[in-house]
Structure 1
Amino acid sequence: MIRTSRRRWLAAAAAATLAVGLAACGAFRSEYTFSQSQLQAALERKFPFNKRYMELFDIQLTNPQLTLDSVRNRVNVQFDATIDNKLFFSQALTGRFALDSGLRYDEPTRSVVLQDPEVKRFDVQGMPAQFSRQLNALGGILAEQLLQGYPLYTFREDQLRIAGTHVEPGTITVLPDGINVKINRP
């Protein structure tokens, strides 16, 4: 009788171990999809964005608004912009800054980041005419140099570990209502 109980116990333990192992394999996430509202919330946590450029301009971007362009596989982001330079302007200039960008995965930061952002609009209220060309050039530099690689979403460490193995995000696709990130199998 003891042998029968022990055999049953061993069989039950083996079945439970097998079930846990199969469940772990089946639990592998092959993709993550983030809704536009999740991305917007993640983006808002990273603002305001303050940067001093060339020791001349203090730039602040606030109130980011994210829209998705699934047809072009790009994201659009608009910000309120404030540019200050006590040497050239009597008061800070304010306006609206808009860009669109591709996305890529950045392994060191575990983030989906802006890739090749392009300025679509840089409207500044009260801009002196003599600075118009320079300010538009500054907007292009801001997009290309300061916002290139800017994180849109950062993965938690546990999102990139499957059964103790590190996994890497692969293809990133912009959807009409979110972003889909495929996970490469280990």
Structure 2
Amino acid sequence: MTDPRRRSFLRIAALAATATLLAGCAALDTAQALLGNQVAFTAPQLQAQLDRHYPRRYEQLGGLVELTVMNPRIALPENSTRLHLDFDVGVDGMGLRSDRTAGHFAITSGLRYDTRANALYLEEPELESAELPLLGGRMNATGRDLINGWLRDYARSEPVYRLDADLQDKLGARQVAGTLIQNGRVVIKLDR
């Protein structure tokens, strides 16, 4: 090859190698890590799954009001054994429209693993804070009832994270011994 053609070829090869390396790094960041007798997940992995499932609409107060829960934001603080989850919320009913953000709320929770669903669910979630200005201020009884009703339903029926089929195959017949949050990660402990 002539010198300019060779340089052009080398540039293209270097760009292709860099793109391949970056794609591999991205795959490592989102892959579920099976390390010995545990599976570990990071906040970005949980966030990616949550982002795919929102916004969601939920009927509350016997269908009188509908909550639109959107924009989940998850954090796994290094010094905490509970995850932190923030949501924006819209309210449809009682003279309000759910296409506008009516406020936001934050919860903390442990996690439990459900073997039938191969998924992580909230365990003992607690409402930490809520601001619903359209309902008359920081928090009134109606707003608290709406969010607590949604939170109970959510913890019972909505997974925060579902293990992918590849990891389920790798686990095989191994049993889950427990789930905990430590050092900014979610860890599923496995029996030997």
Q: TM-score, normalised by structure 1?
A: 0.72
For 1:150 and 1:183, locate their aligned partners in 2 and report how far apart those are by CA, in whole Å: 23
CA shift digits 1:10-66 (9 cap, x unpaired): xxxxxxxxxxxxxxxxx9842111122111112212212211121111111111111
For 1:97, give the aligned amino acid: F
2:143 corresponds to 1:141: no
Q: Which residue matches 2:64?
A: 56
Structure with bigger strand share is: 1
Larger C-alpha radius of gyration, 1 or 2?
1
Q: In terms of mean alpha carbon deviation, does 116-125 or 174-183 score higher? A: 174-183
The gaps in structure 1 that reach 5 residues or longer are 1-26
CA contact (8 A) 2:58 2:150 kept: no
Counterpart in the other structure of 2:50: 43
The two structures, once aligned, show a CA RMSD in angstroms of 2.5
The runs of 5 or more residues in structure 2 that have no matched partner are: 1-33
Contact in 1 for aligned 2:42/2:186 (Cα 8 Å): yes
Determine the C-alpha separation between the residues in 1 that align with 2:96 and 2:174.
52
* Percent of residue pairs bearing the same amino acid type: 22
Q: How does 1:99-138 map to 2 (within 5 A)?
A: 99-128=107-136, 132-138=140-146
Aligned length: 155
- Partner residue of 1:177 out of 166, 184, 190: 184
Q: Contact (CA 8 Å) 2:58, 2:66: kept in 1 or not?
A: yes
Which structure shows the higher helix fraction? 2
C-alpha separation between the residues in 2 aligned to 1:70 and 1:170?
22
CA contact (8 A) 1:160 1:166 kept: no
Amino acid at match of 1:109: A
TM-score, length-scaled by structure 2: 0.70
Secondary structure of the residue aligned to 1:108 is: coil
